[in-house]
Amino acid sequence: AATNGSMQIGHNWYYDAGGTTGYKYIASGKANRQIHVNDYISWELTNSTGSAGGEITFVEVMKLTADGKLGLGTTSPDDQLEISRTSTDQTVGLTLTNEQAGGYGSGIVFKSKRVDTGAVFEAAEIRVVGENSWNGVGNVASQIQFASQKDGTLTQHMVITKNGNLGIGTNSPSNQVHAYAAATN
């Protein structure tokens, strides 16, 4: 079907411009569709089984944007791959990033949602960071950084360096395992 400048491919549906959505079941069962437009491709499913001639409400479950971002469980991905799961009281998600500015690396960001305010925030992160410039260097040293939420900011708590040194509470471990405990009152 082609409507409003889009191409739509799917299963068990037709468009007749009637009702709230204009989409109706061909036969009893579930339906799905894929939409192709200028700036994205979208995959949509039905939540429930319908009957022939009944109206369909599709739910978007995946979107690929023109700038190469893929969202699973989100209609507007912010990163190259963003995975989000929404339940009745919280949203949790996983984002794969590839950030070039400053850190020369990529990572995984774990997102969560505050139940009281609805604000989505980065709860934790694992990032691979290059220690040298990428400009023509064939042997770039890297480290793996681990951060979690502390007082509203992602704070690095652990690092594994290019030499295999593990630092807990320090960003620059000097030996194989280096743990730092701050004095508390």
pLDDT surpassing 70 at residue 140: no
pLDDT surpassing 90 at residue 165: no
At residue 43, the pLDDT reads 93
pLDDT surpassing 60 at residue 138: no
pLDDT in tens, 8-61: 899 999 988 877 888 999 999 999 999 998 889 999 999 889 999 999 999 999
Compute the C-alpha angle 175/169/115, nearest 5°: 150
pLDDT surpassing 90 at residue 64: yes
At residue 131, the pLDDT reads 58
Structure tokens at 177: 């395992």
pLDDT surpassing 90 at residue 103: no
Q: What is the mean pLDDT of residues 133-141?
A: 53
pLDDT surpassing 90 at residue 5: no
At residue 185, the pLDDT reads 43
* Structure letter (DSSP) for residue 26: S
In the chain, the percentage of residues whose pLDDT exceeds 90 is 21
CA dist 171 and 157 (Å) reads 8
